[in-house]
Amino acid sequence: MKIGIDKIGFYTPHLYVDMNKLAVARNVEPEKFTIGIGQEKMAVAPITQDSVTLAANAALQILDDADREAIDFVIFGTETGVDHSKSGAVYVHHLLGINPNARSVEVKHACYGTTAGIQMAKGHVALNPESKVLVLGSDIARYGLNTGGESTQGAGAVALVISANPRILTLEDKSTYLTSDVMDFWRPLYSDKAFVDGKFSNEQYISFFQTVWDKFKDDTGMELNDFEAICYHLPYTKMGLKALRTVLDEATEEVQERLKENYKVSTQYNRNVGNIYTGSLYLSLLSLLELQEGLEAGSRIGLFSYGSGAVGEFFTGILESDFREHLAADQHASLFESRKEVSVPEYEEIFDQTLPTDGSDVELDINEDPANICISGITDNMRQYVNKLR
Ligand code: HMG
């Protein structure tokens, strides 16, 4: 039975900061951010968006009534969840009106959470072929103003429907994975900002990629020539390129050119959003599928997932015959076009606006936020979510 990605949705907040202007404000050459890091625009989440609302907005675009009935499992991958106990999946389940006879859970391992969710979903569909699983990957990446990681922040979410007979990408069965206890990036419970050893995290990312790729080749006999493209988890768009470059000489020149060209296309959305942590790999896949016009059905795409701390996985998918008809490229183009630029001082002000952590109530103005689903405040320690369409 074929199992894989049947639908993909994406959402990013309506605000962004220009990386050239951020560079000037931080006294660095703009090329460091636009070429050295490889980012053009960085999404900025207003206080009325959190990981739950971003995920719900991403899923809202793709679900129809038949999906709401058929989905019996909601898996929410995040490392910036809003509650230590209650899962974000339950809020999204409610906000989207999914049928009550469903399981809803949150999974965590840094940027690997969505991949873990997809693999769980695949197993669930293998046992229950009529099921559909909604897998969400949603995060707001925060390192802090004026920090080394600042240029690699971002915000956004992906939503994927995993089912039998998928219409976009069939996931192949073989995958290779690796776990090793390393402190390259982490966020203790008391901190709303990540701690990171930047250079070490880059090294670990590359080393994990090489290890799972080598094992994949040993286990399957496949080589680079078998791939139309490889998509990477993209904390910033230069990162995947660094990893790709370490293996490129395994391929013929023609294949090297193809992989480099497709890599470039697969980074376009991420370049304009920033790191969305656990959704980043799937945003890159979406960028490739929606922007690479030459992509043909039957092509094999490689996917490298990395979550600091660390877990890595290499797996693959085959494009379905009419995959293009099931994408929403126009909708995503309008989402990008409708965004509003904020100045660096405005971004700093928004960054410093946080919800109270002392138990007090707050009411937020959601009229400025064009998103359909927003957080409108906190009452008695309970987040208040609004779906404006209801
Ligand atoms: P940094 O110290 O700001 O930058 O750290 P740098 O000095 O390393 O420079 C970056 C690049 O810009 C270099 O290129 C420079 O040469 C180049 P490279 O040598 O790397 O190819 N550069 C220029 N290029 C053109 N013109 C110029 C110029 N100046 C310099 N004028 C770092 C950068 C990414 C380390 C930092 O931003 C950081 O710590 N970010 C957060 C950590 C991170 O993203 N790590 C990635 C791997 S870990 C991961 O992916 C997991 C993660 O998503 C979390 C999770 O799993 O949950 C982060």
Active site residue 93: no
Domains in the chain: boundaries: 3-166+327-387, 171-323
Average pLDDT, the chain: 98
Query: Which residue's alpha carbon is at the smallest distance from atom 11 of ligand 1?
Result: 36
Is it true that 3-166+327-387 and 171-323 share their CATH fold? yes
Active site residue 374: no
Q: What is the largest CA-CA distance in the chain?
A: 62
pLDDT in tens, 261-283: 999 999 999 999 999 999 999 99
Please list, residue by residue across 36-59, b when 16 or more beta carbons sit within 10 angstroms of its beta carbon and e when fewer do: ebbbbbbbbbbbbbbbbbbbbbbb
Atom of ligand 1 minimally distant from the CA of 307 = 56
Q: Indicate whether residue 275 lines ligand 1 (CB < 6 A).
A: yes
Cα of 87 vs centre of ligand 1, distance in Å, is 32
Pairing of strands 103-107, 169-171: unpaired
Cα of 235 vs centre of ligand 1, distance in Å, is 9
Q: What is the pLDDT of residue 316?
A: 98
Q: Indicate whether residue 306 lines ligand 1 (CB < 6 A).
A: yes
CA-based nearest residue to 275, from 64, 80, 46? 80
pLDDT in tens, 297-313: 999 999 999 999 999 99
Q: If pLDDT is split at 50, 70 and 90, which confidence band does 288 have? A: very high
Q: By three-state DSSP, how is residue 64 classified?
A: coil
Query: Which residue's alpha carbon is at the smallest distance from atom 6 of ligand 1?
Result: 36
**Pocket perturbation via mutation, ligand 1, pick of 196, 210, 306 by most ligand atoms within 8 A of CB:** 196
The angle formed by the CA atoms of residues 265, 305 and 257, to the nearest 5 degrees, is 35
Fold (CATH) for 171-323 = Peroxisomal Thiolase; Chain A, domain 1 (3.40.47)
- For residue 315, CA distances in Å to 87, 171, 176, 318, 366 come to 27, 8, 7, 11, 40
- For residue 161, CA distances in Å to 5, 48, 305 come to 6, 26, 18
Q: What is the pLDDT of residue 150?
A: 98
Q: What is the pLDDT of residue 201?
A: 98
Pairing of strands 373-379, 382-387: antiparallel
**Dihedral of the alpha carbons of 349, 352, 355, 361, in degrees to the nearest 10:** -60
Distance CA(336)–CA(172), nearest Å, equals 32
Please list, residue by residue across 13-32, b when 16 or more beta carbons sit within 10 angstroms of its beta carbon and e when fewer do: bbbbbbbebbbebeeeeeee
Asked if 370 and 14 count as a contact pair (C-beta separation under 8 A), the reply is yes
Q: Indicate whether residue 235 lines ligand 1 (CB < 6 A).
A: yes
Atom of ligand 1 minimally distant from the CA of 236 = 44
pLDDT in tens, 229-260: 999 999 999 999 999 999 999 999 999 999 99
Which residue of the set 14, 93, 111, 320 is catalytic?
Answer: 111
Q: What is the pLDDT of residue 98?
A: 98
- For residue 310, CA distances in Å to 17, 148, 153 come to 30, 20, 19
Pairing of strands 169-171, 15-18: unpaired
Q: If pLDDT is split at 50, 70 and 90, which confidence band does 14 have? A: very high
Cα of 37 vs centre of ligand 1, distance in Å, is 5
Q: Indicate whether residue 245 lines ligand 1 (CB < 6 A).
A: no
Q: If pLDDT is split at 50, 70 and 90, which confidence band does 181 have? A: very high
Q: Indicate whether residue 237 lines ligand 1 (CB < 6 A).
A: no
- For residue 234, CA distances in Å to 55, 63, 104, 189, 301 come to 18, 26, 27, 24, 16
pLDDT in tens, 75-105: 999 999 999 999 999 999 999 999 999 999 9
Cα of 198 vs centre of ligand 1, distance in Å, is 7
Q: Indicate whether residue 239 lines ligand 1 (CB < 6 A).
A: yes
Active site residue 233: yes
pLDDT in tens, 314-339: 999 999 999 999 999 999 999 999 99
Q: Indicate whether residue 304 lines ligand 1 (CB < 6 A).
A: no
Q: Is the pTM of this model over 0.75?
A: yes
Taking residues 40-51, what's their average pLDDT? 98
Atom of ligand 1 minimally distant from the CA of 184 = 48
Q: By three-state DSSP, how is residue 84 classified?
A: coil
Q: Which pairs count as long-range contacts for 327-335, CB under 8 Å and 24+ apart, including other chains? A: 327/8, 327/168, 327/286, 327/289, 327/290, 328/9, 328/61, 328/62, 328/290, 329/290, 329/291, 331/61, 332/10, 332/269, 332/286, 332/290, 335/10, 335/11, 335/12
Distance CA(346)–CA(350), nearest Å, equals 6
pLDDT in tens, 344-359: 999 999 999 999 999 9
CATH class of the 3-166+327-387 domain in this structure: alpha beta
Q: Six-digit token pair at 111?
A: 């940027």
